[in-house]
Amino acid sequence: MRIKDLPNVDRPREKLMRYKSASRLKTEELFAIILGTGRKGENVLTLAKRVCTALSHRVGEKGLFADLIKIRGMGNTKVMQILSVIELGERLHDKNRAKEILSPSDIWKDMLSTHMSKKEHFYVYYLDTRNSIIKKELISLGSLNASIVHPREVFEPAIRHLCAHIILSHNHPSGDSTPSEADILVTKKLQNAGKILDIEVLDHVVVCEKDFTSMKEKGLM
């Protein structure tokens, strides 16, 4: 079905014009407006839904272009439009939410969304010289170990954003924030890489629902 065959109330552009607020639209409807057109035999809304599905399975931005270009109907121009909008949204969000990290409890509060998760989320906070957050990025999803967390993935954004320091953090779904041997090994590996690049790893904060553990405060790094 073509977009023009849909009732006016279901067309993304018309909905945005009616509500005068993008927050009232679904994610696939917003992507449909950005993409503009679909492909032969598939309207733009259906294409946008497939883009949303691809993005929902992503961890970070590594390889995102390659994943999107595989979608039928997504040429270079459409992929670049999507990547540009995502990056713009992240930059505006980071600018508006910039805040200083003054203590490990600040990390625990910021990691609130992971406290009840059944999977481990490993994040890196990229900080300026005043310890204000430049960017927060999800590096890995799943059990943390030294084989899946590569220094290149952690420090490439730090170099790109001219960071002075970084803070590591991940959640323990078990509810026990005590750092594991794997946590300690990963931290030491990244500390050593940071010393070479002159980017200090200030702390690794392990969080769970009720408490947190600062590896710096425990003398584990």
Burial class (CB in 10 A: 0-12, 13-18, 19+), 174: exposed
Cα dist from 58 to 9, 39, 78, 131, whole Å: 31, 24, 18, 28
Beta strands in the chain (DSSP E): 121-127, 133-141, 165-171, 200-207, 212-214
| Superfamily for domain range 104-214 | Cytidine Deaminase, domain 2 (3.40.140.10)
Q: Which of 13-27, 32-46, 60-74 has the lowest mean pLDDT?
A: 60-74
Q: What is the pLDDT of residue 60?
A: 58
Q: What is the pLDDT of residue 3?
A: 79
Is the pTM higher than 0.75? The answer reads no
Cβ neighbors of 139 (< 8 A, separation 6 or more) are 59, 60, 122, 123, 124, 149, 153, 154
The answer, yes or no, to whether residue 208 has pLDDT greater than 70, is yes
Going from N- to C-terminal start, the domains of the chain cover: 3-97, 104-214
Q: What is the pLDDT of residue 65?
A: 87
The answer, yes or no, to whether residue 96 has pLDDT greater than 60, is no
Q: What is the pLDDT of residue 141?
A: 85
Split at pLDDT 50, 70, 90, the class of 105 is: very high
Tell me: the pLDDT tens digits for 119-165?
Answer: 899 999 999 988 999 889 999 888 776 557 889 999 999 998 899 99
Q: What is the average per-residue pLDDT within 71-83?
A: 93
Q: What is the mean pLDDT of the chain?
A: 88
